[in-house]
Structure 1
Amino acid sequence: MVLYYSNSFKKGIKIVFSNIPYIIENSVFVKPGKGQSFVRTKLRNIFSGKLIDKTFKSTDSFESADINTTKLIYLYRNKDTWFFMDKKNFEHFSVNKIIIGNLNKWIIKQNTYTAHIWKNKIISIHKNNFVNLKVINFVYNIKGNSINSGNKLAELETGVKVKIPLFIEIGDIIKVDTRSEEYISRITKKSD
C-alpha cells in the first residue's frame, strides 16, 4: 500500500478519500505567514465524475487508489446486468446499470471497451469514440423535416436515433461518432 502525503499531491494521482477513489485534478500548497501550511485540492470522484474542493493539512496522508485499466469484450446482457470478459485471462465481470448509465446505446456485442477496475470490481466503462451500427428503421413525420432537408432520422440496432443522409437504406451499416451522436459515413451497403 502506497501512502501519499497531501504536501506531495500532483495532478493525476489517484487516492482513496472517505472510502471512495478520487483523482487529483489540481493541488496548491499554501504556506501562510502564521499557522500550519495546508493544501487546496480539486478532487474528481471516479465513480460519479463529480468535482469537489477540499483543503487538507500538509501532514495528512491518503492511501493510493490502485485502479487498473484493462480492455474487456462485451458478451451479453441479462436485464440490468451487462457481462464482460477480460481478453488476457478470460475473467468475467458483471456490471450493473448504475455504472453503465446511458452507455447502453453504444455497447455492442463482441466489441472491446476500456474499463477501470478497483478492488476487483469495475468502476467505469468507457465507450468507443466511433461505432458501426446497422440501420433498422426510419422515423417519419419529424417536425421540420422537409424534402429539402437532405437527411432523415434513422433508428439503429441499439435503439439510438441519428440523422443520416437520404441515400442510406435499412440494412446499411453506418459509422457513428458516439460523442456527438452524428453520422460519419456508410461502412457497408445492405446486400440484396
Structure 2
Amino acid sequence: MKTAQEMKPNSVMLIEGQPWLVQKAEFTKSGRNSAIVKMKLKNLLSGSSTETVFKSEDKVEPVILDRITVSYSYVADDVYVFMDEDFNQYELSADDIESVLPYIVDGMTDECEAVFFEGKVISVDLPTTIVRQIVYTEGSARGDTSGKVMKAAQLSNGTVVKVADFCEIDDWIEIDTRNGEYKCRAKAPA
C-alpha cells in the first residue's frame, strides 16, 4: 500500500476493484487543514474520467500492469488488431484506444505497448514521439512573424496538427503523442 501523496501521474491504482490511471496529481497543504491530494483519474476499463480528493495519508493500492511490445496490424470495422512478436493478435475497439487513434496509420512501423489488466488487454500506448508525413497544408502566410507562427496540416489518416509555418506538403514531422503537438521536422523513416 502507498499513500495518496506517493501516487504520481501515469501510475495506476485500484479503487473498488477497478484500475484507475492517475492523469494529474496536485498536492496541497494549508495551514489549518490536513494536506490533500487532488487527482484527475481515468478508469482503464470503462474509459470514464473523474476528479477526486484524497487526504495525503490515505492508503491506496498501486497496480502494476503487464506490458508487451506489439505492432499495429490492421483494422476491421471498428476493431483494431495489434500483433506481438509471437504473432498473437490483440483486438481493441476504437473506444479503447481513443487517445492514440489520431496517430494510427496503415503501414506504421512504430513499436507500441499493449497494456494488460488481469490478463485482458485494456489499451495500447504509442511511443512518446512519432514521425508522420504531411499530405496537405496551406502555403506560408506573409506578415506577422514576431511570434511562433503555426498553421494547420493534415496527415494521411485525416488528423489535423498545428505545425510551424515553414512546413510544406510531403514534409515529415515529429509529433508528441502525449499532447498532440508538433515538435520539429524529421527525416523520412527508413
Normalization by structure 2: what TM-score? 0.63
Q: Deviations over 1:127-183 (max 9, x none)?
A: 32211111101257xxxx942244432111232222333433211211122334332
Q: Could you tell me how far 1:82 is from its partner in structure 2?
A: 0.7
Contact 2:150/2:164, CA 8 A, preserved across alignment = yes
Contact 1:139/1:153, CA 8 A, preserved across alignment = yes
Contact 2:69/2:113, CA 8 A, preserved across alignment = yes
Q: Deviations over 1:45-101 (max 9, x none)?
A: 54135455689xxxxxx9x967312221111112211111123x3211000112111
Structure of greater Rg: 1
The aligned counterpart of 2:151 is 152
The aligned counterpart of 1:97 is 94
The aligned counterpart of 2:65 is 67
Q: Could you tell me how far 1:124 is from its partner in structure 2?
A: 2.2
Normalization by structure 1: what TM-score? 0.62
- Code of the residue aligned with 2:170 in structure 1: it is G
The aligned counterpart of 1:83 is 81
1:127 aligns with 2:126: yes
Structure 1 residues 82 and 147, CA, compared in 2 at 3 Å: closer, same or farther? same
Contact 1:75/1:110, CA 8 A, preserved across alignment = no
Which is worse superposed, 8-17 or 93-102?
8-17
Structure 1 residues 179 and 15, CA, compared in 2 at 3 Å: closer, same or farther? closer
Contact 2:12/2:20, CA 8 A, preserved across alignment = yes
Unaligned runs of 5+ in 1: 1-7, 26-41, 56-61
Unaligned runs of 5+ in 2: 26-38, 56-60
Task: Give the fraction of aligned pairs with identical amino acids, expressed as a percent.
Answer: 20
- Code of the residue aligned with 2:83 in structure 1: it is M
Distance 1:183 1:54 in 2: 35
- Code of the residue aligned with 1:179 in structure 2: it is R
The aligned counterpart of 1:106 is 103
The aligned counterpart of 2:36 is none
SS at structure 2 position matched to 1:74:
strand
Q: 1:39-58 to 2 correspondence within 5 Å?
A: 44=41, 46-47=43-44, 48=47, 50-52=50-52
